[in-house]
Structure 1
């Protein structure tokens, strides 16, 4: 492509820019309307959220400028199947955590994320994920005395 040829505005970049500005505005609005003690110092608990909101809005503006100029490189085609495996694992974990417990639900998440990354068959990754998740549950629930959802596997201990 020659230097004189101008690219069309990148709609995906403009959509990302809009999302950044909206998220920044929501954070700023929420922080502004949040109650809390007013102190003598201008720096307080609302300072960091306002800084984050400002940075997001500024990033959104720069992203919009780059999108209007067409400065973003061409993107590769993406296969949606791995993302669907990962999202499916997250949905299964969220829906089954209270009924089957942390170890089994997180083990299923592990297996589906591994499948999304193209690793191992499910018959192998599900038990591996459950064992790893049980070890994590044991460390957090018994060692650190933190409360994680317990299912039939955790109730054996």
Structure 2
């Protein structure tokens, strides 16, 4: 067992190949479950593109697996302006994840404007800004701009939540 582990050491790209293969298989399976009416006169149909994408993902997974098993590997990033010797800054990552989770949990009840404001404000706080009032105002403006940008520009209604009828 340890001999197999040592043989695979340094071949983390196999994980990416596995992920590509799983996603490709899921795309093909999902395409096969599409219900298409028989009266559709389009010779290509709606299943064609998902089958192509899924197939290409499987081909990429197979080619990447062969490449890695033959000794190929990805090139290490040069790290233009970052120090690659430092680990992950969890004191930044965890609050960012928390801001996204809060947004997911509150968007339906409070609406996009409030949850988006919390998302934007929490993100800038996690990234180090300590101008609480200014960041709150900018976050609110961004949430309102995206709310109306989606509604007026794209015709997509984001949830208004408790501000239903006000916005």
Fold shared, TM-score > 0.5 on shorter chain: yes
Q: Deviations over 1:48-78 (max 9, x none)?
A: 1011101111111122223322422346465
CA distance in 1, matches of 2:41, 2:150: 41
* Cross-structure match for 1:120: 129
CA distance in 2, matches of 1:35, 1:41: 14
CA distance in 2, matches of 1:8, 1:146: 47
- Higher mean alpha-carbon deviation, 13-22 vs 121-130, is at 121-130
Larger RCO, structure (CA 8 Å, separation 6 or more) = 1
TM superposition shift of 1:99: 2.7
- Please give the secondary structure, in 1, of the residue aligned with 2:12: helix
1:150 aligns with 2:160: yes
TM superposition shift of 1:126: 3.2
On the 8 A contact 1:28/1:49 being kept in 2, the answer is yes
On the 8 A contact 2:103/2:116 being kept in 1, the answer is yes
* Cross-structure match for 2:88: 79
> Where has structure 1 moved over 6 Å in runs of 4 or more?
142-145
RMSD after superposition: 3.0
Equivalent residues, number: 150
* Cross-structure match for 2:145: 135
CA distance in 1, matches of 2:107, 2:66: 44
On the 8 A contact 1:112/1:122 being kept in 2, the answer is no
The TM-score, its normalising length taken from structure 1, stands at 0.74
1:97 aligns with 2:98: no
Q: 1:108 to 1:66 in 2, by over 3 A?
A: farther
What stretches of structure 1 of length at least 5 have no aligned partner?
1-6
Q: 1:13 to 1:138 in 2, by over 3 A?
A: same
TM superposition shift of 1:102: 1.1
TM superposition shift of 1:92: 0.7
CA distance in 2, matches of 1:154, 1:127: 21
Q: 1:122 to 1:109 in 2, by over 3 A?
A: farther
